[in-house]
Amino acid sequence: MIGEKPVAATTDEVVAELRKRKAFVMVSHVKPDGDTLGAGLALGLALKRLGKRVHYFQADDSVPRNLRFLADADLVSNVVPADLPADALWVFCDMSDTARAGESLPPLSRENILDIDHHLGNSHFGALNYVLPRECSTGTCVMHLLRAMNVPVTPEIATCLLTTIMTDTGGFMHSNTTPEVLLLSAELMGSGADKDQITEEIFANKRLPALKLLGRALNEATLGHDGRYVWSYVDDAMLAECHADGEDTEEIIGHLRSIEGVDVAALFKAYDGEIRVSLRSNGRINVQSAAARLGGGGHFRASGLTFEGSLPEAIAAVDAALVAEGL
Ligand code: AMP
Ligand code: MN
Ligand code: MN
């Protein structure tokens, strides 16, 4: 170890550890998305082909509707099997710290933690930290591991991995869509990844309540800072009115960000007893730093945080954090 944080692990070190261990728990972050789930499922499916025992853990009660098409999604659970060996390796995918996995995790010792991630500001909480901030998704980090392990990428694994890429690049539209990302995606399609199914399940296939909720949230949108900032909110009453739930909020922030002249968009999700904030930037303002000022994190252009306090306090605090970052 150097200083307080263990140094980033090499691909070879991680592969050696994956080969050594016999049992694994793939861990997704709360409110799971296509990257955290797709990366964990892909690695789990590959490890199973090597004869390993694999479980999938997430704190939430169920996998989001639009991700249930992924192979093994039906095996994801918030219960840890009682007979899990003490030396099982817990593989955290797509999160900067263990708190993002939720509160129902059993106590774990660092030696049993592998951290695979691409977030800026990952806290290197594992014994091994395979943290590659230049990667577009955690799934492409997993892809490098699978390649080094020489495990065949089945169509099911390829679909999970392409899902991570399409989720975190916004369907190849965000600026993290580099030529390498397109080459990796082509390779995955060559291995049988079903791009059309991913498009249908994740980017089409909208529920009417989600679109009604989008309409409600856009109706409440407020511009600030000479039109460079836009914010809106969703609360319990709006969800009830639209017969929508938290999963139906996913698209809203992207629409806010797409408003002409807007540098930063914020969506305040004030329901289920907490206030979670999504921030998106066009690249001028670092919303990861802004979120970090309030205990959150993420990426330069996409970040989030959970706020303790009232909605007006959250709105004021986020405004101040963004101003401090140059808004
Ligand atoms: P979201 O707006 O929920 O889609 O999140 C955007 C990005 O911010 C993702 O990369 C998340 O991992 C990150 N993020 C969201 N909420 C939090 C949080 N409470 N703490 C740290 N990072 C977060
Ligand atoms: Mn994620
Ligand atoms: Mn990600």
CATH code at position 307:
3.10.310.30
37 lines ligand 1 (CB under 6 A): no
Same domain? 147 vs 259: no
Protein residue whose Cα sits closest to atom 4 of ligand 1: 278
Q: Which residues have CB less than 5 Å away from ligand 3 (the ion)?
A: 35, 94, 138, 168
Asked if residue 43 and residue 154 are part of one domain, the reply reads: yes
Same domain, 198 and 287: no
CATH number assigned to the domain comprising residue 97: 3.90.1640.10
How far apart CA 76 and CA 115 sit, in angstroms, is 19
Q: Is residue 255 part of a domain?
A: yes
- Domain hosting residue 155, numbered range: 7-203
Instruction: Give a yes or no: residue 199 inside a domain.
Output: yes
Residue 22 lies in a domain: yes
- If one counts the domains in the chain, the total is 2
Domain identity same for 90 and 68: yes
Q: What is the pLDDT of residue 205?
A: 86
Our answer on whether the CB atom of 306 is closer than 6 Å to any ligand 1 atom is yes
Instruction: Tell me, using a 6 A CB cutoff, whether residue 299 lines ligand 1.
Output: yes
Q: Give the Å distance between the CA of 310 and the centre of ligand 3.
A: 28
Q: Confirm whether 152 is domain-assigned.
A: yes
Question: Would 2 be classed as within a structural domain?
Answer: no
Number of alpha carbons in the 13 Å side-chain half-sphere of residue 235:
6
Q: Do 259 and 194 lie in a common domain?
A: no
Q: Are residues 169 and 244 in the same domain?
A: no
Last residue within a domain, chosen from 203, 220, 249: 203
- What was the pLDDT predicted at 6? 55
| Residue 168 domain flag | yes
Is the CB of 34 within 6 Å of ligand 1? no
* 85 and 220 in a common domain: no
Report the distance separating Cα 327 and Cα 175, nearest Å.
20
| Distance between Cα 75 and ligand 2 center (Å) | 19
Query: Would 164 be classed as within a structural domain?
Result: yes
User: Residue of the nearest CA to atom 12 in ligand 1?
Assistant: 298
**89 and 178 co-located in one domain:** yes
Whose tokens are 């000022």? That residue is 293
Number of CB atoms found within 10 A of residue 83's CB: 7
Q: How far is the CA of 137 from the centre of ligand 3 (A)?
A: 5
Look at residue 194 and tell me if it is in a domain. Answer: yes
Give the pLDDT confidence score for residue 8 in this predicted structure: 87
Q: What local confidence, expressed as pLDDT, does residue 5 receive?
A: 52
Single out the residue in 139, 168, 203 at which a domain terminates: 203
Say if residue 237 is in the same domain as residue 149.
no
Of all protein residues, whose CA lies closest to atom 13 belonging to ligand 1?
A: 298
Q: Looking at residue 171, what is its pLDDT?
A: 96
Domain endpoint, select from 170, 203, 236: 203
**Ligand 1 pocket member 304 (CB < 6 A):** yes
Q: Report how far Cα 252 is from the mean position of its chain's Cα atoms.
A: 16
Residue 298: CB within 6 Å of ligand 1?
Answer: yes
Global pTM reads: 0.93
| Together in a domain, 254 and 148 | no
10 Å Cβ neighbour count for 131?
23
Q: Along the chain (327 residues), what's the average pLDDT of each consecutive run of 10 residues? A: 63 98 98 98 98 98 97 97 97 96 94 96 96 97 98 98 97 95 98 98 93 98 98 98 96 96 98 97 97 96 97 98 98
302 CA distance to ligand 3 centroid (A)? 10
Which atom of ligand 1 is least distant from the CA of 295?
20
Decide: 267 in ligand 1 pocket, CB within 6 A: no
Q: Is 252 in the pocket of ligand 1 (CB under 6 A)?
A: no
- What's the pLDDT score for residue 227? 98
Residues 152 and 232 in one domain: no
pLDDT of residue 3: 43
- Residue among 282, 101, 280 nearest 290 (CA): 280
Q: Report how far ligand 1's centroid is from the alpha carbon of 30 (Å).
A: 10
Best residue among 27, 60, 100 to mutate for probing ligand 1's pocket (most ligand atoms within 8 Å of CB) is 100
* Closest ligand to residue 100's CA: 1
Instruction: Give CA–CA dist 89/108, Å, rounded.
Output: 10
Pair (178, 250) in one structural domain? no
